[in-house]
Amino acid sequence: MQYPSLWDISYSVDRSEYPTRGENVKTKYALPPIAAFFIWGMGEMFSFSPRPPSSFHFNNTIFRFQVVQDMPSMEASGEACDQDAITAGTCKKFGIVVESAKEHGDEQDTAFHELLHILLGTNESDVIVTRQEFAKKLSPRLLSVIRENPALVKYLETERWDSSKRLYPPMNESEKELFLRKRLLSLLGTDSPGNACTYHQLIYRLSPERKNIFRGDILEQLR
Ligand SMILES: [Zn+2]
């Protein structure tokens, strides 16, 4: 028996349609797909903006993750669809839709903004809370997303981090949550942490801080 070489990929043909009667036919087109795959692979290796994941999961639910050219709505650059939004009839499938932006960072910020809506519940957007309550509610949820969705984290992360630079001793679960809570509070501003705002106001405040949460040294401690 002869084995085909890599460059000489063969396939069997349907006896009823071809006169070759089940002979293996060499395809002339084996090289181009392999070359295309190689070029694609090289592009992936040196890509500075990681491809968005197609989904992520939170709270035992799978959410689609889509980056689109144009949002159906004129004013929004992103949309978050959770059970609340489905119940309210504003969307049909669990997920996040983000409009692709010229600046990759803007796209990442929008994605993070919509992720925060999902984590906090879209119908909670106008609920008034203190920053402490906000950070306390968000930190365990964000922690579970960071843990369970490496592709999403990679997409939101901006800088590569050398794990050999780890500066801190490993933390246990509750220390990790407290660390993230303090970090969220400091990013929200420490001027008057007891002042109440709506979730939406706090989400607005927090989403531009994505780079300061999805930062190699921070994530290194939370994983
Ligand atoms: Zn929003």
pLDDT in tens, 203-214: 999 999 999 999
Query: Do residues 49 and 98 touch, judged by C-beta distance below 8 A?
Result: no
Shared-domain flag, residues 117 and 214: yes
Shared-domain flag, residues 33 and 107: no
Residues in a beta bridge with 64 = 55, 95
Ligand 1 centroid to 14 CA: how many Å? 55
Q: Residue 5's Cα: distance from chain center in Å?
A: 39
Ligand 1 centroid to 136 CA: how many Å? 19
Domain count, the chain: 2
Buried-exposed string 128-163: b where 16+ CB fall within 10 A, e elsewhere: ebebbbbbbbbbbbbbebbeebeebbebbbeeeeee
pLDDT given at position 194: 75
Residues spanned by the domain of 24: 15-44
Ligand 1 centroid to 86 CA: how many Å? 16
DSSP 117-142: HHHH-GGGTT-EEEHHHHHHHHHHHH
Q: Write out pLDDT tens, residues 32-54.
A: 667 766 666 655 555 455 678 99
Ligand 1 centroid to 54 CA: how many Å? 21
Shared-domain flag, residues 114 and 209: yes
pLDDT given at position 177: 92
Shared-domain flag, residues 33 and 112: no
- Tell me, yes or no, whether 216 lies in a domain: yes
Shared-domain flag, residues 109 and 200: yes
Burial class (CB in 10 A: 0-12, 13-18, 19+), 102: exposed
Shared-domain flag, residues 107 and 208: yes
Shared-domain flag, residues 127 and 208: yes
Q: For residues 28, 31, 33 and 35, what is the CA-based torsion angle, rounded to 10 degrees?
A: -160
- Tell me, yes or no, whether 91 lies in a domain: no
Ligand 1 centroid to 117 CA: how many Å? 7
Shared-domain flag, residues 106 and 21: no
Ligand 1 centroid to 77 CA: how many Å? 9
- Tell me, yes or no, whether 63 lies in a domain: no
Ligand 1 centroid to 90 CA: how many Å? 14
Ligand 1 centroid to 145 CA: how many Å? 19
Q: Which amino acid is at 83?
A: Q
Place 105 in a pLDDT band, splitting at 50, 70 and 90. confident
194 phi and psi angles, rounded to 5 deg = -85, -10
Place 4 in a pLDDT band, splitting at 50, 70 and 90. very low
Shared-domain flag, residues 39 and 108: no
Shared-domain flag, residues 116 and 35: no
Ligand 1 centroid to 78 CA: how many Å? 8
- Tell me, yes or no, whether 64 lies in a domain: no
Ligand 1 centroid to 114 CA: how many Å? 7
- Tell me, yes or no, whether 108 lies in a domain: yes
Ligand 1 centroid to 73 CA: how many Å? 13
Shared-domain flag, residues 26 and 115: no
- Tell me, yes or no, whether 116 lies in a domain: yes
- Tell me, yes or no, whether 79 lies in a domain: no
Q: Are strands 95-99 and 24-26 parallel, antiparallel or unpaired?
A: unpaired
- Tell me, yes or no, whether 195 lies in a domain: yes
Ligand 1 centroid to 207 CA: how many Å? 9
Query: Do residues 147 and 139 touch, judged by C-beta distance below 8 A?
Result: no
Q: Is the pLDDT of residue 31 over 70?
A: no
Q: Write out pLDDT tens, residues 48-74.
A: 556 789 999 999 999 999 988 877 776
Ligand 1 centroid to 119 CA: how many Å? 12
